[in-house]
Structure 1
């Protein structure tokens, strides 16, 4: 497969521009402009949580680490909703930006931010009041309940600001700005890197906050990053800069909100379904003993970083597709799909190759036992090369999402996950042992890719593509 040489208006304009630039650039170059900052942003988001966990575990012990981990299921549900909301808004903003409708860009941003702020306030009030019962309902062990409650309450109270921060980065990507979200995440991560250990140990005369340090550091990080974001966007003259124009747009437009939720809700549901499926797979793995669990943990650490480029390619396809639709150039969508699939094959293949060649030294970072290491290496090979299939159907699904067609692609993924992947994992584990669980991934990914490709060619490409709002 060859990368498309079709040329489109450069769809990664800086925030201060009043619409897409007229300059023509090869589509693959536009993709690459997006990918670098977006991959780094995804890595930083993952790294931030990893660093906090590392500080807590090393400086306070495993109970502090367990207290933070106990809140993760609740945190994930909220984050899934916000990511879904941001995905829907970025599609609508991409279409409005492509059509050079700046007032509509602000209206979509205002509606989305206000909904996120209201939802965050509700979570903060009710979550803050009922934190302890929530943690008890989750079955938090008694010996970490107090610490888990303290940490959870702090994070819940900070939800309004966190939601605004996460939505702001999604909205900026919708107008083609991937650099500003990257710099804001670098700033937020750097603050956490310093403040978490400082608040644990009480450096520089700061109070020793114990397990609360991680929560306070998170709030401190995104708060300072949000202030920087506002100042930077005003300096750049961005259409999304805080000011009177955006404040006037801070009202709930039901038509726009319907469009946002049309894309956002299925996206959030897919994230939650994928997470629940992960818990089922985890229970199957645990049945093979602690060595299998350790191998899974190490493989998952490496694979999560290997998937960042693939996810970033899919997001880029969605944004470029939305901007092309908004500009009235839906005929460019097949070229965007071909380029996304080609880059997925090249970048994903290179990542899988490097990961396979250096599998042992990479896994030795986490594993010292030779028997566990041998199992982990075999599993890593399967997972890394399966990523090519995952990236391909994720890119197709994301491109279709750009037109608002999200229900069927999402339903296909969830159906294969629940009806085929999980039963296959169990059946193959009975026949082939632990490796059988991993064999289910390439099989189910192949089926998903086949169904998504069929829907893309047989249904989606034959429909007229219209703007959502």
Structure 2
């Protein structure tokens, strides 16, 4: 396989490990930040121009959308791993089959998820014990969001393919464009047209659709080895089985964990619309805090995938160690000032005193525990890079679903305070990190 001199792909099987991980992670991190801006700008706009109930509708529904989108993201991770391994092994024929199978799979799942998401929205909102004052807006926002989900899925799969061959810059440029467009449309639909939560949903799906059109268009016009050709667009069953083998456990893990988070949200919702809105604000802020570790986890997946394909075992071990150190340092630097300035940050979303008080409390009792979560993100990413998606999925399902739900059930019976409920997330992170540490201690992955 020949790589063109001006190609955007990045061979990570040789060279300085720390430098490669950082250079690969930075555009990926910036891209993830802009992707988070979709939901965050939605929250800021409705929180300031519509009200706390609309804010709760937009923020508290995340577990439902992530349940389906997260399943697909797991499948997308599986496709990325397979692409990166074939790239590392210099197998151009299999690489092209994996690219076209991944895109075809995305189209099929996109239409299926559009229908499923639209139909299950009312059921899931009731299951989540959504406050009556929030129910109508939440239903409108989610159903509109699911009608445009195909654009989000196509963008993420195509971007995952580019990242798998080492190109993390192109998805970033596209995402910056679509995020800026989303902000403009948010303000236009909500402030000018007064469309409320429906307006922010329209802004999101239009922006996501355009980003998908651009990245798919670039793959079609590309002359590189990963280019997309309509005549090659079909499902290759042996490749699909490999994608499913890696992606299905990760997808099921995310979907099950997100379904479990519906019940976490229900515990918070018992404390009223102010608490629901505040938990949503905390979740939006925490989503930014965990981006460096998630980006490094994705980077180590590509790094390990390519080096596994090339048989570079020592390089894999060194990469995991370096990635872990960098993730912990970056997360610590972010968390400490965030805890101190929590109320000043929350006020960007909503200025109601009770919402600010709850959200600042959630941030201060949770954020420093994100440092612990760095270990499980890097270790899980490394395991997926060598094709072992089952172990991290099982561990995360146990920690984030069963252990967390048992913990929440017990503390809700022992106390009426919201603080132990808010500790449900850190409890799962700590459990996951301990179990994965033990697994790595007794099992060499390379």
Q: In the TM superposition, what is the alpha-carbon distance from 1:274 to its structure 2 partner?
A: 2.2
Residues 274-330 of structure 1: CA deviation (Å, up to 9, x unaligned) = 223323233333445666555534433322211111111111111100011112213
CA contact (8 A) 2:82 2:98 kept: yes
CA contact (8 A) 1:99 1:327 kept: yes
Give matches, 1:28-427, under 5 Å: 28-55=18-45, 75-124=65-114, 126=115, 131=118, 134-138=120-124, 155-199=145-189, 213-230=199-216, 232-233=218-219, 237-242=223-228, 246-288=229-271, 292-293=275-276, 295-366=278-349, 377=360, 379-427=362-410
Corresponding residue for residue 5 of structure 1: none
Structure (1 or 2) with the larger CA radius of gyration = 1
Contact 1:13 1:19 in 2 (8 A): no
Greater CA deviation, 270-279 or 163-172?
Answer: 270-279
Partner of 1:16: 7
Residue 371 of structure 1, CA deviation: 7.8
Displacement, 1:212?
A: 5.3
Matched residues in 1 for 2:196 and 2:272: separation?
A: 33
Superposed CA deviations along residues 166-196 of structure 1, whole A, max 9, x for unmatched, are 2111111111111111111111122222234
- C-alpha spacing 1:197/1:15, structure 2 compared with 1 (3 Å): farther
Correspondence for 1:446 among 430, 438, 443? 430
TM-score (norm 2): 0.83
For residues 220 and 373 of structure 1, the distance between their equivalents in structure 2, rounded to whole angstroms, comes to 31
Aligned 8 A contact 1:71 1:135 in 2? no
Distance 1:190 1:15, change over 3 A: farther
SS at match of 2:290: helix
Q: Tell me the TM-score normalized by structure 1.
A: 0.80
Q: C-alpha deviations, 1:403-433, integer Å up to 9, x for none?
A: 1111122111211233333322343452593
C-alpha displacement of 1:119: 2.2
How many correspondences in the alignment? 439
Q: CA deviation at 1:21?
A: 7.0
| Partner in structure 1 of residue 443 of structure 2 | 459
In 2: Cα distance, 1:157 partner to 1:74 partner: 14
**Do the aligned partners of 1:19 and 1:100 also contact (CA within 8 Å) in 2?**
no
Whether the 8 Å CA contact 2:10–2:166 is kept in 1: the answer is: no
* Alpha-carbon distance between aligned partners in 2 of 1:180 and 1:311, rounded to the nearest angstrom: 19
Q: List gaps (5 residues or longer) in structure 2.
A: none
> How far apart, in 2, do the equivalents of 1:294 and 1:161 lie?
27
In structure 1, runs of 5+ residues without a counterpart are 1-11
Cα deviation for residue 338 of structure 1 reads 0.5
Tell me the CA shift for residue 373 of structure 1.
5.7
Contact in 2 for aligned 1:321/1:333 (Cα 8 Å): yes
2: distance between equivalents of 1:334 and 1:155? 41
Q: Which has the higher contact order (CA 8 A, sep 6+)?
A: 2
Between 420-429 and 78-87, report the one with greater CA deviation: 420-429
Name the CA distance, whole Å, in 1 between partners of 2:125 and 2:267. Answer: 21
State which drifts further: 326-335 or 251-260. 326-335
CA distance in 2 between partners of 1:56 and 1:378 (Å): 22
Report the Cα distance in structure 1 between the residues aligned to 2:362 and 2:60, rounded to whole angstroms: 27
State how far apart, in whole Å, the 1-side matches of 2:101 and 2:261 are: 33
Q: Shift of the alpha carbon at 1:87?
A: 0.5
- Sort the Cα spacing of 1:353 and 1:427 in 2 relative to 1 into closer, same or farther, 3 A: same
The separation in 2 between residues aligned to 1:393 and 1:345, in whole angstroms, is 11
Specify whether residues 241 and 199 from structure 1 end up closer, same or farther in structure 2 by C-alpha distance, changes over 3 A only. farther
Q: 1:25 aligns to what SS in structure 2?
A: coil
Question: Larger deviation: 417-426 or 268-277?
Answer: 417-426
